[in-house]
Amino acid sequence: MPYFELQKDEFKLPPAYFADIDGLLAVGGKISAENLLKAYGEGAYYWHHPLKRIQWWSPDPRIVLFPESYPWDEQAYKQLSEKYELSVNLNFENLLRLCQEYYNRETQMGPQWLSERMFRIFMELHRQGYIQSIEVWDQGELAGGIFGATIEKLFFGEYLVGTSDAVMNFAVSSLVKKLCEKGYKLMDMQKETVFYQGIPYEEMARLTYVSICKENAMAISNQAFKP
C-alpha cells in the first residue's frame, strides 16, 4: 500500500485518515523534540524498528485510558505503597537507562528499542517540562516506572518498565492518581501491545481522538506534576 514520505527539512504529517489498515501514516522526516510534540498534537506518534526508517502512526481505533474510569483498588494500592517508595520527576535519566536495559535486547530488536537519539529527545522534553515520570523504588534501588508527554490535559504514554508486575501496577496506579488530581482527560496508550497487559483500556475512534488532540494542541503548556 502507498505511504506518505516526509522530507527532513519540513515536518508536515498527512491527515490521520490517510493511515493504512495497521495505522501507518507516514515514514521519514526528522525526529526532534519539536516534531514529536507536533505529532502528539495531531494524534500521531513515533514508533519503529531501530534498523528501519522513521515511522509515524495513527491507528484506528486508538487505545486509551480514562483516569476517572480507572478501576481503583484502594486496598491493593495501600499494600503496594507500603512495600515500594514513589518519586515524581526525580530520576528521569536513570529511568530511561532502565528502559534501555529492559527493551534494548540485541536478540529481539523491536519497535520498543530506546535509541540514544530518542534518549536525548526525551531528556530535552523533560527539561522543557513536557515529559513527566513516575519512579518506583524497592529498598533504595530503582525498580521501575512510567513516563510520557503532557500537552494540556492529555498524557501521551511512552514507556512502562518494572522488575515485576507489582512494580508496574504501582507505577500505573500512581500515574492515574496524579492524572486524576490534575484533571487530565485521558492517557494515550498508542497500540494494544505497547503497554503492560494488566492495564485496563478502552478504544476510541481515531476521528474522535484526533479532534481531542488538535483542540488541546492549540493551547500547549507545561503541566508538570508535583511530588
57-104 pLDDT per residue, tens = 999 999 999 999 988 889 999 999 999 999 999 999 999 999 999 999
Give pLDDT, residue 215.
Answer: 87
What CATH code is assigned to 63-217? 3.40.630.70
How many angstroms from the chain centroid is the CA of residue 109? 19
Sign of the C-alpha dihedral, residues 39, 40, 42, 48? positive
Q: 4-60: what fold?
A: Alpha-Beta Plaits (3.30.70)
What three-state secondary structure class fits 178? Answer: helix
Taking residues 212-216, what's their average pLDDT? 90
CA distance 208 to 185: 13
For the whole model, what pTM was predicted?
0.90
Ranges for all domains in the chain classified under CATH 3.30.70.3550: 4-60
| Residue given cell 505497547 in the structure block | 194
Cell of 60: 484506528
65, 69, 178, 208 from 184: Cα distances, Å = 11, 12, 9, 17
CA distance 131 to 151: 9
Ranges for all domains in the chain classified under CATH 3.40.630.70: 63-217
How many angstroms from the chain centroid is the CA of residue 58? 14
CA distance 26 to 57: 7
Q: What's the half-sphere exposure (Cβ side, CA atoms, 13 Å) at 89? A: 18
Position 222 confidence tier, pLDDT thresholds 50, 70, 90? very low
92-138 pLDDT per residue, tens = 999 999 999 999 987 777 778 899 999 999 999 999 999 999 999 99
